[in-house]
Amino acid sequence: MTTPVQETKAQRVERLKREKNPWECLDEIRRFAREGFNSIPAEWLGTYFRWWGVYTQGDGAGVVGGKGGEGKSAPYFMIRIRVPGGILSSHQLRAISDAAKLHARGVADLTVRQNVQLHWVSIESLPEVLEILWRAGLTTTGSCGDDTRNITGCPVAGLDGDEICDASPLVLQATELLVGNPAFYNLPRKLKICITGCRVWCSYPEINDVGLTALSYTRNGHPEVGFSLQVCGGLSSEPFFAKRLSAFVRWGQVLPVIKGVAEIYRDADCLRENRERARLKYLFMRHGWTPEHFQEELERRIGFRLEPAGDDNPPADSYRDHVGIHPQKLEGYCYVGAAVLRGRITAEQLGAAADLAEDFARGELRITNMQNLLVVNVPSKRAEELARELAAVGLRPEGSPFWRGAIACTGMEFCKLAITETKSFARWLVEEMDELLPGFDQDLKLHITGCPNSCGQHWIADIGIEGKKMKVDGQIVDAYYFFVGGAVGEHRKFARPVGYRCPASEVPQAIARLLRAYESGRFDAENLRQFFARHGEGTLRQFLAGEEVAAVTRDSSPGRPPHGVEG
């Protein structure tokens, strides 16, 4: 008798996607809400819900106790709300506050892709949460799953006096083109797009599948604004910077180009064979594609040639967290940015921010890629008062470099792939650093990720720490492995693993030793990136440990790259 061939994970997911477009199945979700959690079939829990921005929530133990590299689920869901370009109105923020208060235990998270995430949502509550969001003009559609994720952009688009152009209309148009479009519901994996008109690339086009950055050229004596195009960037456990194509993309060509890239990805059957190697970057990393090949195929699909691009002027060592009071291009107005430590925000803070945006401005807000919240179009004469009111509800418009620069992924609290707890740890770490180095005044990107999959973007941090476990006095404890020297822009470079690991409880002292070595040993005007670049791993390890220590091997990921954890 012939033994039936067992499906691989990739084959199973591809079969499920062929059988059903989840966007057409809202009635099934409503039925599950009526019948309860136990009525939900495995294919919905593990696959289809993600197309609705819904992800099963971990049981609080992370990857521990599960199987196949994934931990156990609780009977609750995470819901990811997509906010294109991070642009929100006060009534939308208030709707999120209401949903969090009524159905998500009063908390939410701002993410590194300008989304908002809710947790603790029951299946019985899910339709009502979706209705609350829809009534406010918000959606969760496509914010997880094998489709186009939230399209990011500069959070001060249209406000920044130094921007080349306001690209936010293109962000909204591209969202309308792809999200909910049945032609693009079934991609090999997630597709991440960034469109920005700013000069400092604060939304990190280099780590997106599609990165469009504004350029201004003078052609035949006339200025013209268009975009440079980078493709196939991404982080996860195998980071890859996007490759720039030789293309000047005119404003009117942006949507056809994005559609063309999405079609290339959708039709790349070689990326459907292995879920761990299904991102667009693997065309370059595993299948021999080059920028020239990619551009040739793109031009064939869009039906026209793209003009060659000139210099794109990537920013050098820019640090832009948008925290504080900043003037806008319109005289007499500014925006006020609040640092939301590790992105965790309460329903009460969301509601207060919505009220303040109406009381002091025009009810307009923005979410940034550094998990912060801005109130925009504030009359300058009222900015200081607004800053005090935000601070009074725990949304600080100022703070130490540690408070402003800390980024944290979801972590073990809710994520089934996490090895360590990150959100509470991040707050404790920042408080410890403020005590250990109260006078430290250098811009710092301090990124915390609970596993090797880099949802906390540790590969592009000045100091990135990756969650591990280690045994101390016979007990298994949270630990972190150190990376240093990551950067984007002109000096783009992934952070180097330096072979040092320590228990989570020792991380503050290790970082303090490293930063004291920087303060005492730096050259004039030398920043952290430059300091780290001129020291070898052994020296950096010695700075961290306070003594000479042998290198520790970095463990590989215990599980597959996540479906949707990082947005």
* pTM of the complete model: 0.95
Pair 502, 510: CB distance under 8 Å: yes
Give the pLDDT confidence score for residue 3 in this predicted structure. Answer: 62
Pair 76, 122: CB distance under 8 Å: yes
| Residue 227 phi, psi dihedral angles, 5° rounding | -140, 145
pLDDT, tens digit, 9 for 90 and up, residues 136-173: 999 999 999 999 999 999 999 999 999 999 999 999 99
Mean pLDDT for the stretch of residues 264-279: 97
pLDDT, tens digit, 9 for 90 and up, residues 502-558: 999 999 999 999 999 999 999 999 999 999 999 999 999 999 999 999 999 987 554
Give the pLDDT confidence score for residue 2 in this predicted structure. Answer: 60
**What is the number of alpha carbons within 13 Å of residue 111 lying toward its C-beta?**
27
Pair 433, 399: CB distance under 8 Å: no
Least confident piece of the model among 35-39, 64-68, 232-236, 376-380: 64-68
Is residue 80's pLDDT more than 70?
yes
Quick one: three-class SS letters along 154-189?
Answer: CCCCCCCCCCCCCCHHHHHHHHHHHCCCHHHCCCCC
Closest CA to 232 of 281, 278, 265: 281
Scanning the structure block, which residue is given the tokens 């050229």? 217
pLDDT, tens digit, 9 for 90 and up, residues 172-181: 999 999 999 9
Where is pLDDT greater, at 321 or 434?
A: 434
Give the pLDDT confidence score for residue 556 in this predicted structure. Answer: 57
* pLDDT classification of 223: cutoffs 50, 70, 90: confident
pLDDT, tens digit, 9 for 90 and up, residues 235-270: 999 999 999 999 999 999 999 999 999 999 999 999
Pair 120, 83: CB distance under 8 Å: no
Pair 53, 81: CB distance under 8 Å: yes
Give the pLDDT confidence score for residue 248 in this predicted structure. Answer: 95
Distance separating the N- and C-terminal Cα atoms of the chain: 46
How far apart CA 129 and CA 120 sit, in angstroms, is 12
Q: Tokens representing 269? A: 């059957």
pLDDT, tens digit, 9 for 90 and up, residues 473-504: 999 999 999 999 999 999 999 999 999 999 99
pLDDT, tens digit, 9 for 90 and up, residues 458-472: 999 999 999 999 999
Query: What does the angle CA 69 – CA 75 – CA 78 come to, to the nearest 5 degrees?
Result: 75
Average pLDDT, the chain: 95
Give the pLDDT confidence score for residue 417 in this predicted structure. Answer: 92
Rg of the chain in Å (alpha carbons):
23
* Biggest CA-to-CA distance, the chain: 83
How far apart CA 545 and CA 435 sit, in angstroms, is 19
Give the pLDDT confidence score for residue 196 in this predicted structure. Answer: 98
Q: Tokens representing 125? A: 């509550």
Give the pLDDT confidence score for residue 532 in this predicted structure. Answer: 97
Residues 6+ apart with CB under 8 A from 181: none
Which pairs count as long-range contacts for 305-309, CB under 8 Å and 24+ apart, including other chains? 306/229, 306/245, 306/246, 306/247, 306/248, 306/249, 306/253, 306/257, 307/247, 307/248, 307/250, 308/246, 308/247, 308/248, 309/215, 309/228, 309/229, 309/244, 309/245, 309/246, 309/247, 309/248
Determine the angle formed by the axes of helices 126-135 and 90-103, rounding to 10 degrees: 170
SS3 487: strand
Report CA-CA distances (Å) from 4 to 10, 12, 13, 68, 179: 17, 14, 18, 22, 38
Percent of the chain with pLDDT over 90: 91
E strands present in 111-236: 116-121, 193-196, 210-219, 222-231
| Residue 276 phi, psi dihedral angles, 5° rounding | -75, -15
SS3 346: strand
Pair 424, 448: CB distance under 8 Å: no
Mean pLDDT for the stretch of residues 229-234: 98
Give the pLDDT confidence score for residue 421 in this predicted structure. Answer: 96
Mean pLDDT for the stretch of residues 98-125: 98
Q: How many CB atoms lie within 10 A of CB 472?
A: 12
How far apart CA 223 and CA 217 sit, in angstroms, is 6
How far apart CA 426 and CA 507 sit, in angstroms, is 11
- Provide the pairing of β-strand 193-196 with 73-81: unpaired
Give the pLDDT confidence score for residue 559 in this predicted structure. Answer: 47
Is residue 309's pLDDT more than 90?
no
Report CA-CA distances (Å) from 53 to 79, 134, 191, 196, 453: 6, 13, 14, 24, 19
